[in-house]
Structure 1
């Protein structure tokens, strides 16, 4: 009877919080044991029994490391794959439509950033029935409950709760964008990818930042120290996700930096899209089968240079008018040879060439990432 009471007290506390750290989980268990006068060394055994009981009602006890700080998190999630419906509690139908569109925008964001700026988050098209203030309140609520995380520069990315509870939904709905960590097999939205990408060999290894040490250890065991254990080339990590987007923003002070030296991401996103894409092309990893767009943009001349050019142009106007007719005929013959597709961005448009990306690695080591493994739980007290 006392053992059953401990399990009930622990489970009730976890479900009320939805998500806790492993350290907090153990602390709750210890309090429950001391309350009924039982020893605390049966933590793993009792959790195994709880896992079995939850599976009978369509729930699952899952652990996952936070992609930012590597902390082990524990939570009870819906194992039926419709966890998105759980967001319905406390949200109106219009808000749910907006939240679904927001998750899609984040998970399919360009340049493998898996994030959107605050301006982009507020401008996401849904049913357009929510005011700006209402959207701001929804965003704040999602951040407060760990569905989203917000960076210092104002970018929104999926929070640890969303990654843990929605991974089945994300893998099913956005298969081409669903990357899997080479080490832990959990879904990954930020980390490093192997930079090996040549016509002869193209590596698709991607790892969480907190899993990279284990990747290097595995390479050392295979006598491949300093190399990728998959392609056996030098390990040259290529960052992607929210940290990479943050770093890119810091390199663009011209787009609006604050007094603290951190670029305002909203101003950054207001800049010329083609300039951003060109700057990001050097740090863009390969992701799924999604197409990657690259574009270039010429820097606008200064007012002084424009004045000098205007003076020279006035002298050449007559010659240009005489040659204009012939040049237009030649352009008409050349223009059809150009390819690519036109992408609209506000009042500007940029011609880009579409390129096909490789499929992400589908690890066969685990049919379901993020499952709770009792023998891997470490005592962090």
Structure 2
């Protein structure tokens, strides 16, 4: 028998099949769920204005209240690569790393934990590790795992949205991991966590002020917005960041990885601007992890 509660059920089925989705897609799926239930029984009263922001907010609040006993939540965050807001169905249980237990064995979870540690401790705030380094982590596991098995598990971590793999073969944490594992990351790696000066979300991909120990960092999208609206000076120390296209800022994320971690062909293909940022980073004492979290006040 069809009921108004089927709107939540249909919506959740769509979300679970995707796990991470854009804001526009989430709202479109909600609207489709409402229309599907009404089509099944046009006598059902559904108090949902699918063309209203308040209607979406009310539905989201009701949905998360229903999910609360299951320790689940549909949460909103910003994708570091695209700069767009996204929704993700996340587990809010206290044992953060164990949240992937439904998908993986204890050995595979231990492997994931080891990968997270190496990503968070990567030098220069690069927040990424090479494929070789990722495979090397199997040597630290309490039980043996072959290279073939590790490659298969790594591919699964990427396919299920726990890790990202770049075109250069480097692994980093996905938006899903950053959102779902946020309490774990902040409590386990307090000295490694950076927050964007603009949006205050965790920062693992973007730009940092070139001045040593300034502490200002921004996501790529936040940085572009800031430059367009305010200009090319640091909001904290007023350091001149140069002209757009010839920025003096230093990278956060994969581009900040030490050059000896890159394949020879990739190193040769680096642009002059990237090489320039590398020299400036070293000149400002950035071969190690030196700049601290700081507010703009």
TM superposition score normalised by structure 2: 0.79
Instruction: For 1:173 and 1:285, locate their aligned partners in 2 and report how far apart those are by CA, in whole Å.
Output: 30
> What residue number does 1:211 align with?
222
1:232 aligns with 2:238: yes
1:357 aligns with 2:290: yes
List per-residue Cα deviations over 1:146-200 (Å, max 9, x = no partner).
Answer: 1111111211111121111111111111111111111111111111011123xxx
Question: Which of residues 72, 75, 90 in structure 1 aligns to 2:85?
Answer: 72
1:1-381, aligned counterparts within 5 Å? 3-37=4-38, 40-41=50-51, 42-55=55-68, 57-124=70-137, 125-127=140-142, 129-197=144-212, 202-216=213-227, 220=230, 225-235=231-241, 236-245=248-257, 256-257=264-265, 282-283=280-281, 357-361=290-294
Give, in angstroms, the shift of residue 56 of structure 1: 5.2
Instruction: For 1:84 and 1:204, locate their aligned partners in 2 and report how far apart those are by CA, in whole Å.
Output: 28
TM superposition score normalised by structure 1: 0.63
Give, in angstroms, the shift of residue 138 of structure 1: 0.5
The answer to whether the 8 A contact 1:108-1:114 is kept is: yes
Instruction: For 2:228 and 2:61, locate their aligned partners in 1 and report how far apart those are by CA, in whole Å.
Output: 29
Summarize the Cα distance change of 1:149–1:122 in structure 2 as closer, same or farther, 3 Å threshold: same
> What residue number does 2:41 align with?
none
Instruction: For 1:45 and 1:217, locate their aligned partners in 2 and report how far apart those are by CA, in whole Å.
Output: 34
Q: 3-state DSSP class of the match of 1:68?
A: coil
Structure 1: gaps of 5 or more residues: 264-278, 287-291, 295-354, 365-381
Instruction: For 1:50 and 1:153, locate their aligned partners in 2 and report how far apart those are by CA, in whole Å.
Output: 39
Instruction: For 2:69 and 2:178, locate their aligned partners in 1 and report how far apart those are by CA, in whole Å.
Output: 23
Give, in angstroms, the shift of residue 2 of structure 1: 5.0
> What is the RMSD computed on CA atoms of the aligned residues?
3.1
Number of aligned positions between the proteins: 269
Misfit runs of 4+, over 4 Å: none
Instruction: For 2:221 and 2:123, locate their aligned partners in 1 and report how far apart those are by CA, in whole Å.
Output: 24
The answer to whether the 8 A contact 1:77-1:83 is kept is: no
The answer to whether the 8 A contact 2:20-2:87 is kept is: yes
Summarize the Cα distance change of 1:363–1:137 in structure 2 as closer, same or farther, 3 Å threshold: farther
Instruction: For 1:104 and 1:241, locate their aligned partners in 2 and report how far apart those are by CA, in whole Å.
Output: 15
Q: 3-state DSSP class of the match of 1:116?
A: coil
Give, in angstroms, the shift of residue 239 of structure 1: 0.9
Summarize the Cα distance change of 1:244–1:359 in structure 2 as closer, same or farther, 3 Å threshold: closer
The answer to whether the 8 A contact 2:93-2:99 is kept is: no
The answer to whether the 8 A contact 2:196-2:219 is kept is: yes
Instruction: For 1:110 and 1:128, locate their aligned partners in 2 and report how far apart those are by CA, in whole Å.
Output: 28
Structure 2: gaps of 5 or more residues: 39-45, 242-247, 271-276
Instruction: For 1:40 and 1:285, locate their aligned partners in 2 and report how far apart those are by CA, in whole Å.
Output: 54
Q: Give 1 or 2 for the bigger CA radius of gyration.
A: 1
Summarize the Cα distance change of 1:44–1:284 in structure 2 as closer, same or farther, 3 Å threshold: farther
Q: 3-state DSSP class of the match of 1:28?
A: helix
